[in-house]
Each structure stands twice: as structure tokens, then as C-alpha cells.
Structure 1
Amino acid sequence: MDYDLLHIQGKPYVLMPLHDYRALMGSDNDDGLPEDVLDALAANQESPVKIIRKYRGMTQKVLADEAGISRPYLTEIETGKKDGSLRAMKAIAAALGVNVGILA
């Protein structure tokens, strides 16, 4: 992880990638997803990645960029054509601010 330390008006601040911040914030809670999203996940009719991405208001391009993967690869994961590598799924989970297990 690559962070920068900034001093603004004498106070230290850490600048980090958004997906790292979301991963840190998501690690202390139960993903913070509302009941309707959990119901959609339980129905298993759509990819968990797509459901949570839509809930977060993210486009495929934004999610792919934040996860460091290509948009076509994300599309293949969302449509079930590919499972997604563990590394990719961890990056997607971090970008979505959820634990990777919820995407399985």
C-alpha cells in the first residue's frame, strides 16, 4: 500500500487510494448493506458484484479502475463468464467496501 503523509495547517493527514480506505472501513463492520440488497444477494439471480456495484452507484468503468482491472474482465465476472482470480476479487471487494466473502 502506498500512502502519502501531508501536513495541512500543522496537522498530519494520510492520503491513500480510495479502495484502500474503503477496505479499512469495511473491515470493522458487517458490510453495512441494507436488507433489500441482502435479499437480492440471497435470491442469487444476479452477480453479487453487479448488485453491490449498482447499490454503491458505481459504473463498471469506475469499479474496474478502482479495482485495477479491465472493464471487459469485470463484465465477464459480472456475467458469470469468468469466476475472477482471488486477487481480482479481493480488489473488487476493497473497491466496493465489502468483505470478499460476500462476493462468493
Structure 2
Amino acid sequence: MDERQWETVRRLADWLAEGSTQPPEMQRVLQCLKLGEEAGEVAEAVIGALGQNPRKGFSHSWDDVADELCDVVITALVALVRVHPDPPAAFDAHLAKVADRVLPQPDRPDRP
């Protein structure tokens, strides 16, 4: 992500904080719990895209699934802004750690 995108995420976090009556600690907790709600909306969209709800049929498209996945990502990034003093560094470091753990490494023959 670039700095412009991180600034947008920070602005979203600030906007949510300004509209909340909860103390900052509870805002962080609720933002993390919001991830579960958003993940449920992804599941609902996938079920709808596959037509697996007998009452609703094909109620969603794969574009709807993509939108819901984006909501999960945005919600997670806002949570990261709320819980870490340097969210870009935390995200970059964790992404690098995961990539190093699972992606093939050309300079390390012991890795897949």
C-alpha cells in the first residue's frame, strides 16, 4: 500500500472515532470484532454467488464477493491503525515474514 492509501485508512479510523461514544480501548475491541461481521458478509455473498440458499437463489455476484472482501481488508486495516503505532511498518514486516515462510526462495534450496 502507498502512503495515500494509508492516509485514507487513518482518516476512516479518525472518522469512526469521532462518531463513537465508546472509550478508545473499547473502540479498538469493537473494530476487531467488526472483522467477524464483515467475514460473515463475505460468506453470505459467496453462498449467494453459488446459488446455495434455496430461498434466495443466485442473490449475489462475484463482484459482490469482491466488494465484501474489500470491506474485510478495509476493516482490518482500520483495526491495525487503531492497535499499532506504525501500521505500515507492522503490515510490511508481517507480510515479509509470511512470504519468507511460505514462498519459494531461489537462494535457499532447502525451501520449496
TM-score, normalised via structure 2 length: 0.24
Which protein, 1 or 2, shows the higher relative CO under an 8 Å CA cutoff with sep ≥ 6? 1
Which has more strand, going by share of residues? 1
Larger Rg: 2
TM-score normalised over the length of structure 1: 0.25
Whose helix proportion is higher, 1 or 2? 2
